[in-house]
Amino acid sequence: MKKKWKNININYSSILVFLGIVFFWQVISVTGLVPSFLLPSPGDVLRAFVMDFSLLLHHLKITLVEALLGLGLGLFLGFLAALLMDRYPRVYRGLYPLLVVTQTVPTVAIAPLLVLWMGYEMAPKITLIVIVTFFPIAVNLYEGFQHADPDQIKLIHAMGGNTRDVFKYVKWPAAYPQFFSSLKIAVSYSVVGAVIAEWLGGFAGLGVYMTKVKKSYSFDKMFAVIFLISILSLLLMGLVRLLQRKMMPWIYKGE
């Protein structure tokens, strides 16, 4: 019961902090400390969100499809890479340094090249999302596999189990915490990666919409898009949390 109240207090604290930020934002807008064309008030942002809601939903569908396709492919490739690195040390020694190198190149620097090579359709957006989501999945899953209990592995072998049994009953469950931690990161990266790729070219999507409204200096609409992107990221992370709750019920026992 105390644990429940603790969680509730944390949620209330987050709400109070958010309301405090909105109140401070409104005060700055009303007093004119920052010109309204640079920092629209929360009311203006809400009004822009409501007025362009149908248009925002249209662009949201495109961005969401790109994010989910890229995330799914990045998840598959990351899982495969982690599995191969765990199974074959030579693959780890050859592949891991390349994974690190891919993270030293800024995403904004890669995106224009992908658009140049692949055009303005979905292909460059999905590729960029795969690049930014692949690394956290692969590295964290590999670390999870490596931290499996060696005594449990020996027990499986002693009972006549094979490599598949070791993975199913020991290594994969041991990697759950790292997997879901990396999945939460990858989910947020997928949305951000899609928007960044859309900034550099495309026909639809939240990033394309942001580019258009920026050129017309409609900053209230830009803030509305930022608000929508935040909601989308939070919803996707909430879905990951629900999946984690289902696959790891022992963590949430007593809540």
Report whether pLDDT(9) > 60. no
> How far is C-alpha 115 from the geometric centre of its chain's CA atoms?
22
pLDDT bracket for residue 161 (50, 70, 90):
confident
CA-closest candidate to residue 81, choices 69, 71, 94, 70: 94
Longest dimension (CA), the chain: 75
Alpha-helical regions (H) of the chain: 2-31, 42-51, 53-87, 89-102, 107-118, 122-146, 150-158, 163-166, 172-174, 176-199, 206-215, 219-247
Can you tell me the distance from the alpha carbon of 54 to that of 227, in angstroms, rounded to the nearest whole number?
Answer: 15
Residue whose pair of structure tokens reads 């149908």 in the numeric block: 54
User: Of 73-87, 103-117, 158-172, 203-217, which gets the smallest average pLDDT?
Assistant: 103-117
Residue-level pLDDT at 68? 92
If one compares 58 and 24, the residue with the highest pLDDT of the two is 58
Task: Tell me which range, 71-80, 124-133, 213-222, is most confidently predicted by mean pLDDT.
Answer: 71-80
Q: What confidence tens digit (pLDDT) does each residue in 210-224 have?
A: 888 887 778 888 888
Question: pTM of the full predicted structure?
Answer: 0.81
Report whether pLDDT(132) > 70. yes
